[in-house]
Amino acid sequence: RMRVQISAVSVVVLAGLGWISTAFGQGNSKGPLSGYDRSARATVVHPATVYVGADGNSQHVTEVTPGHEVVIMSSNGDWVQVFANTDTPEEQADQPEFAPDPAPPESGWIRNKGVVSPATPHGDVVLYGAAESFEDQAAQIHGPKDAAQAAEMLYLRVWQYFPDSPLAAVALWRSADDRWQIDKADIGTLPSAKEQDAY
């Protein structure tokens, strides 16, 4: 009987370890990039206007906010042609932005300024520094509305684009912490949060 109980416990423990290993394996698959993704994916560290052509006087298509991704198609001097996804929900910042979606990304041109890809020299430092700046802005009383989300997403890009960087682990932690702070603030605005007992 004792052997049967030990065997049962062993099965439960091994099953639990298998689940944990699978969960972490799936999480790690979102980190390092390779092939097409590594060469084409990029993000911006400041708002970037998407134009119809490589000309600041051409029609505006949309705007890419810091941390959101673009896929670079070609370049022309100081301009890059991109597919820009601006519709990704905030709560899914850790999901691939260019997964199948009913709303196709916008196509156009943005200035090649503040665009960071996995091939950008010292890009991890650039992204981390920009994320810290937005985090500081979010802590201010009258800081920009989307500063916290920009910080969260830029920290996440450090880990995704530069998984071998010394900054990758702390950037991932800070991204998760920023997301927790955002969710906590959102929950605090719900009517149910104000209806709880004082204690």
- Angle 157-158-162 (CA atoms, 0-180°, nearest 5)? 110
Tokens of 112: 């090649």
pLDDT digits (tens, 9 = 90+) for 119-141: 999 999 999 999 999 999 988 88
From the list 93, 87, 92, the residue with the least C-alpha distance to 151 is 93
pTM of the model: 0.67
The reported pLDDT for the residue numbered 126 is 97
The reported pLDDT for the residue numbered 105 is 72
Question: When comparing pLDDT for 186 and 80, which is higher?
Answer: 80
Average pLDDT over residues 159-178: 94
